[in-house]
Amino acid sequence: MNTDRIDFISAYCDAWCERCGFTTRCSHYAVKVATEMCDGDFSAAIELAVGTPQPVDGEREETIGQKLLEELQNLTVSPNEIAEYERYAKARDARLAAHPITRMTRTYTDRAIGWLKDHRERLESGDDPVLREALEIVSWDAYLIGAKLHRALSGRDEAAHGQPGDDHPIQNDWNGSAKVTLISLRRSASGWQTIFGATADPAASILADGAEHLRRTVEADFPNAMSFVRPGFDERLADC
């Protein structure tokens, strides 16, 4: 059992495990690897990766996960509660869909994915390592940015409408998610500029401007995001 893991480090990362120096301290990565070892058996993977050590002899102890599962199985939700939540979720989704940042993100994502679909394979076959690196970055972030921004907008919206959650003005989930987005947008804007420099394709320059414009817009909408301290990545750890 690894007891040196960093709590919640995977909640505010870009999920690019192959490039992360914290995988040995990440429970999410441990479960990911264990799932492969357990042939896709997720329950067994969780127990292998983060479960409570079991005694060699004697009665098997109940894990925290088992206790939570039992509590969830005994939880009852009335039809009225389900209907109320469905109404709330529908209204929330409508608010998020109408948000200017959502529309901007969708436009950027669609154009970035479309450009990569048309050009990435051909450009990656070349011998320019800087260009290949830029292509990898913008490709990874093209999908990540929308997901992280949706989480940031959704979390903030739920807090504004009385849903239980974080009450800290800076250390809250939406600021953490927005910070990951801002970091990705900054490196994507740089990546698109590199691609433009290598290809002279004006569409790449437009995408660079789009990523930077979206970054500035998100930064203005989440002014405290960059002050959020991400576990592990932004903390000064004694043994790192």
Give domain status of residue 175, yes or no: yes
Give domain status of residue 125, yes or no: yes
Condensed to tens digits (0 to 9), the pLDDT of residues 139-193 reads 999 999 999 999 999 999 999 988 877 789 999 999 999 999 999 999 999 999 9
Same domain, 55 and 140: no
Give domain status of residue 154, yes or no: yes
Same domain, 48 and 111: no
Q: Measure the CA–CA gap between 17 and 99, rounded to whole angstroms.
A: 31
Give domain status of residue 239, yes or no: no
Nearest residue to 115 (alpha-carbon basis) of 190, 187, 203: 203
pLDDT of residue 239: 45
pLDDT of residue 3: 60
pLDDT of residue 102: 97
pLDDT of residue 238: 40
Q: Are the beta carbons of 148 and 171 closer than 8 angstroms? A: no
Give domain status of residue 91, yes or no: no
Same domain, 131 and 223: yes
Same domain, 63 and 160: no
pLDDT of residue 65: 52
Same domain, 139 and 51: no
- The residues of the chain scoring below 50 in pLDDT are 53, 56, 237-240
CATH label of the domain that carries residue 141: 1.20.1440
User: Could you give phi then psi for residue 213, rounded to 5 degrees?
Assistant: -65, -40
Same domain, 106 and 221: yes
Same domain, 50 and 125: no
- Residue 170's domain spans which residues? 96-227
Same domain, 102 and 65: no
Same domain, 39 and 100: no
* Residue 226 exposed, middle or buried by CB count within 10 Å (0-12, 13-18, 19+): middle
Give domain status of residue 84, yes or no: no
Q: Are the beta carbons of 191 and 134 closer than 8 angstroms? A: yes
Nearest residue to 142 (alpha-carbon basis) of 114, 123, 122: 114
Same domain, 29 and 68: yes
Give domain status of residue 133, yes or no: yes
Give domain status of residue 2, yes or no: no
Same domain, 168 and 215: yes
How many distinct structural domains can be found in the chain?
A: 2
Same domain, 57 and 105: no
